[in-house]
Structure 1
Amino acid sequence: MEFNRRRLISAAGGTLLLSLAPWQIASGAKLVNVRMWPAEEYTRVTIETDEPLKFKHFFVRSASPLRLVIDIEGLALTERVKRLIADVKPDDPYISAMRIGQFKPGVVRLVMDLKADVKPEVFLLKPFANYQYRLVFDIYPVHPKDEIGAILAGSQEGNLLTDSLSSSNSEDPLADVLAGLANPNAPKTRPALSASKGKDDKAAKKPSAKDTQTPAKSAPAKKTQSEDQIIIVVDPGHGGEDPGAIGRRKTQEKVVVLQIARRLAKLISAEPGMKAVLTRNSDHFVSLGGRVAIARRVKAHLLVSIHADAWVKSNVRGSSVFALSQKGATSAAARWLAKNQNESDLIGGVNISTVNKQVASVLVDMTSSWTIGYSLGLGTAVLQELRAINKLHKTAVEQAGFAVLKGQGIPSILVETAFISNPSEEQLLKNANHQQKLARAILTGIKKQLAADTTLTRQG
């Protein structure tokens, strides 16, 4: 037997030359799977094992290309491990190649060749749901390509709440925009109503004649196009490691809701005075805090979260709409659904070391009776439109403590388009024509609510 030998482990775009001896091959945790989720916002690589792993990581900046090195203790190096690690998708925006080899007894070294400078998050997740221990590598770009990427990378994390609260001089910016949209000839501004609890909650101070006079020499203020737009955040649920509900024919909720959300966003942005922003436009995981942060950062006026429900009985069917509740769920089913949706972070995987900062910054329940009231009106309008294309599971908007509906301080609804666990509805959810009908129904409901309620008077 040759006790000193050299082995070459190659992977797409790179090689790693290692010196190995037979007794140096590690034995320890067994690999369950390796998964990769490339996206423009960030790339996630997950190594799932049956036991927890110890690790450390560092950059080799003197190398060309730039390399990220992760030393992993307790992972048994096998041919399957090497094969899965080497299987890098060629269209990944940040990683050109990955390779793994035995670095020293008990330590396996993983090397990533990078296409750009990145700031990685490497963390371990405990077993949850169908997953065992997961070692997660989130590869964020140092220079995100857009604002959404910057939010997810956490570069604005510390200022999310402060910036959002100070972004508008009006206490009701949505009402200002809606007043102008409903009546193009109406003044673009109106007296702000107090949103705080007190004597003046239910009435606004009327402007005096002097206040309404325009000085002769003052030029009319110019508004940008974005200030006249209603910004609607469309939030496709789940994504990446979190598939959501899975139908009998293996249809994944995260796939169909993204398709519906894209259609809805396209319809919204085609409307005069409206603009849609997607919380994700590819198959990657976005935390609940990240979704809320996006809505606040883009100064959204409305948020619509798109989902596809599931139940243990396959004959249950129909569409539903949910709003946030301050007093608890309106039914046991609503409570169960909210619990499942709120566990998305545990399934998709959030770095525990940063989640406290994110929660402190953005998952602050700033809802009011006005916000919830408008959300209920919006949900009712959407529900009435969904009735024309699908059976309703519940004929009224239900309420529960959905985390994704908290923190924006804006009207928000969660639309359960259908039961993906129902074979016939699962088939419909995959149908492009039905997806378009769902998107159109949601938009029509939004427009009807905007037309019906243009004053948006806050209740104290």
Structure 2
Amino acid sequence: MRKIAAILLMLVCWPLLAGQTVVNNLRIWAAPDHTRLVFDTSHPVNHKLFTLKKPDRLVIDINGARLTGPMPAVSDNPLIKQLRSAQRKDGTLRVVLDLDTQIHPKSFVLRPNSQYGHRLVVDLYGETARKPGDTVQKPVKQLDNNGMRDVIVAIDAGHGGEDPGAIGRRGTYEKQVVLAIARKLAGLIEKERGMKAVMIRDGDYYLGLRKRMDLARSHRADLFVSIHADSFRDPKARGSSVYTLSKRGASSEAARWLAESENSADLIGGVKLEDKDDVLASVLLDLSQTGTGQASHEVAGKVLGRLRRVGRTHKPTVQQAGFAVLRSPDVPSILVETAFISNPEEERKLLDPRHQQKVAGAVMDGLRGYFHDSPPPGTLLAQLKSRQHTIARGDTLGAIADRYNISLANLKSANGIAGDVIQVGQVLMIPGT
């Protein structure tokens, strides 16, 4: 009798449950300038947000939804004290965030992709945080009394937060291994005299592609390096690649910059476009992009050459594609696909800290070679470039160090030399005392 009653109750409630959206999970990611909440939902949702004061709270109402499972615990979040939820009589799921400060919320829904279903995303920006689209100019470190600055390299670890990137067969997330490689690369750059690293993403959180570009420009970066791990349906695909922006991608970006009013006041090669007519603005932007593209291709070639020493490369030459993250018109930009995470052998290597260090070292060698050949004006590297020595037959490192009155260790360090092997025609940078 009880079983029959239960079945009848299910039949009565089924129409209501069938039309109800299930919130399967809630994930929280804290970035430096905002906190993101992601609700995984069984269907697209209608929702609304409103804030309350004394105390500060954010209320999220999701129509016709119910939550399965408990609210996630919140710890060390700069904006949220705690989360709580309640099911209202009209079928609305109400989620309340108790806040530490007033916030600016922003929400949107996302359609399913290969990794996630329907999602509701809520971004929280604190009162003192930068709002979406804002950039802040950072002071550039001065090294000496002559006002020579560092070369700034922006390092972008791809994906992050709710975007794991490609996933290997062993469950390795691209976002994790590329962040590890990016941090190792940053460590090598910081040890290099005359160079400074800026981490675009330095934690497990998501940044939009254009936000990554904007951050690099706000730091006045001389180069933007995006680190990724490739994936392909064939697990035999392997090897590293280096990409620059395609001409088609550059052309579409030029049209976008000229069309959007907020970009007309940005500096393009040091020239403002806001007071120029359309034809002149287009010419100036094209010249800027041409120079940026040439520099990007040169540094990409240097990096690809060094990666060949670490392992197989997927293609013998620098590749071009329309990656949005490479489209800054005034910052040379490259994208490094370190390996195929879809290849089981390369996935294993990507998890190995020693291999990560080798990859970072290869990229560093390429950057060092490029900037020593083409240092930006006004940098310490440009000043040091005037002190070079081209190796002739019979030269030794010890003799060169004695000739310029520097230590052998400093000479090796300045040129990234580990042993004693040098080649005729090789150009050494002579560090200052």
Deviations 1:291-315 (A, max 9, x none): 0110111111101000001111111
Q: Secondary structure at the match of 1:76?
A: strand
Instruction: Please give the alpha-carbon distance, in whole angstroms, between the structure 2 residues aligned to 1:358 and 1:413.
Output: 25
Aligned residue for 1:88? Answer: 73
Gaps of at least 5 residues in structure 2 are 1-12, 251-259, 269-284, 378-433
Q: What's the CA shift for 1:57?
A: 1.4
Q: Secondary structure at the match of 2:116?
A: coil
**Given residue 38 of structure 2, which amino acid in structure 1 is its aligned partner?**
T
Q: 1:356-367 maps to which residues of 2 (within 5 A)?
A: none
Aligned residue for 1:240? Answer: 161
Q: 1:307-318 maps to which residues of 2 (within 5 A)?
A: 307-318=228-239
Tell whether the 8 Å contact from 1:39 to 1:92 is kept in structure 2 after alignment. no
Instruction: Please give the alpha-carbon distance, in whole angstroms, between the structure 1 residues aligned to 2:212 and 2:197.
Output: 14
Q: What's the CA shift for 1:41?
A: 3.0
TM-score by length of 1: 0.67
**Percentage of identical aligned residues:** 41
1:57 to 31, 38, 49: 49
**Given residue 33 of structure 1, which amino acid in structure 2 is its aligned partner?**
N
Deviations 1:401-447 (A, max 9, x none): 11111024121110011111111111111111111111111111101
Q: Secondary structure at the match of 1:276?
A: strand
Instruction: Please give the alpha-carbon distance, in whole angstroms, between the structure 1 residues aligned to 2:103 and 2:146.
Output: 38
Aligned residue for 2:244? Answer: 323
Change in Cα spacing, 1:115 to 1:391, as seen in structure 2 (3 Å) is same
Q: Secondary structure at the match of 2:40?
A: strand
Aligned residue for 1:292? Answer: 213
Instruction: Please give the alpha-carbon distance, in whole angstroms, between the structure 2 residues aligned to 1:101 and 1:89.
Output: 18
Instruction: Please give the alpha-carbon distance, in whole angstroms, between the structure 1 residues aligned to 2:376 and 2:367.
Output: 15
Q: What's the CA shift for 1:62?
A: 1.6
1:43 to 20, 35, 42: 35
Aligned residue for 2:65? Answer: 75
Q: 1:174-193 maps to which residues of 2 (within 5 A)?
A: none
**Given residue 70 of structure 1, which amino acid in structure 2 is its aligned partner?**
I
Q: What's the CA shift for 1:93?
A: 2.7
Q: Secondary structure at the match of 1:93?
A: coil
Instruction: Please give the alpha-carbon distance, in whole angstroms, between the structure 1 residues aligned to 2:132 and 2:299.
Output: 31
**Given residue 307 of structure 1, which amino acid in structure 2 is its aligned partner?**
H
Tell whether the 8 Å contact from 2:26 to 2:72 is kept in structure 1 after alignment. no
Aligned residue for 1:133? Answer: 118
Instruction: Please give the alpha-carbon distance, in whole angstroms, between the structure 1 residues aligned to 2:262 and 2:156.
Output: 18
Gaps of at least 5 residues in structure 1 are 1-21, 145-149, 169-176, 185-221, 330-355
Aligned residue for 1:448? Answer: 369
Instruction: Please give the alpha-carbon distance, in whole angstroms, between the structure 1 residues aligned to 2:328 and 2:265.
Output: 9
Q: Secondary structure at the match of 2:54?
A: coil
1:103 to 80, 83, 88: 88
Change in Cα spacing, 1:285 to 1:359, as seen in structure 2 (3 Å) is farther
Q: CA RMSD in A?
A: 3.2
Tell whether the 8 Å contact from 1:88 to 1:96 is kept in structure 2 after alignment. no
Instruction: Please give the alpha-carbon distance, in whole angstroms, between the structure 2 residues aligned to 1:29 and 1:324.
Output: 42
Change in Cα spacing, 1:360 to 1:284, as seen in structure 2 (3 Å) is farther
Change in Cα spacing, 1:454 to 1:284, as seen in structure 2 (3 Å) is closer
Dislocated runs of 4+, deviation >3 Å = 356-362, 364-367
**Given residue 66 of structure 2, which amino acid in structure 1 is its aligned partner?**
A
Aligned residue for 2:427? Answer: none
Deviations 1:283-340 (A, max 9, x none): 11100110011011111110100000111111111111111111479xxxxxxxxxxx
Aligned residues: 336
Aligned residue for 1:395? Answer: 316
Instruction: Please give the alpha-carbon distance, in whole angstroms, between the structure 2 residues aligned to 1:233 and 1:455.
Output: 15
1:249 to 142, 167, 170: 170
1:32 paired with 2:24, answer yes
Instruction: Please give the alpha-carbon distance, in whole angstroms, between the structure 1 residues aligned to 2:104 and 2:182.
Output: 29
Instruction: Please give the alpha-carbon distance, in whole angstroms, between the structure 2 residues aligned to 1:299 and 1:72.
Output: 42
Q: What's the CA shift for 1:139?
A: 1.6
Change in Cα spacing, 1:359 to 1:49, as seen in structure 2 (3 Å) is farther
Q: What's the CA shift for 1:104?
A: 3.7
**Given residue 49 of structure 2, which amino acid in structure 1 is its aligned partner?**
H
Change in Cα spacing, 1:418 to 1:123, as seen in structure 2 (3 Å) is same
Q: Secondary structure at the match of 2:87?
A: strand
Change in Cα spacing, 1:320 to 1:138, as seen in structure 2 (3 Å) is same
Tell whether the 8 Å contact from 2:292 to 2:329 is kept in structure 1 after alignment. no
Aligned residue for 1:200? Answer: none
Instruction: Please give the alpha-carbon distance, in whole angstroms, between the structure 1 residues aligned to 2:162 and 2:262.
Output: 20
Change in Cα spacing, 1:45 to 1:436, as seen in structure 2 (3 Å) is same
Instruction: Please give the alpha-carbon distance, in whole angstroms, between the structure 1 residues aligned to 2:322 and 2:364.
Output: 24
Instruction: Please give the alpha-carbon distance, in whole angstroms, between the structure 2 residues aligned to 1:400 and 1:57.
Output: 39
Instruction: Please give the alpha-carbon distance, in whole angstroms, between the structure 2 residues aligned to 1:322 and 1:120.
Output: 36
Tell whether the 8 Å contact from 1:289 to 1:359 is kept in structure 2 after alignment. no
Deviations 1:377-406 (A, max 9, x none): 101111111111111111211111111110
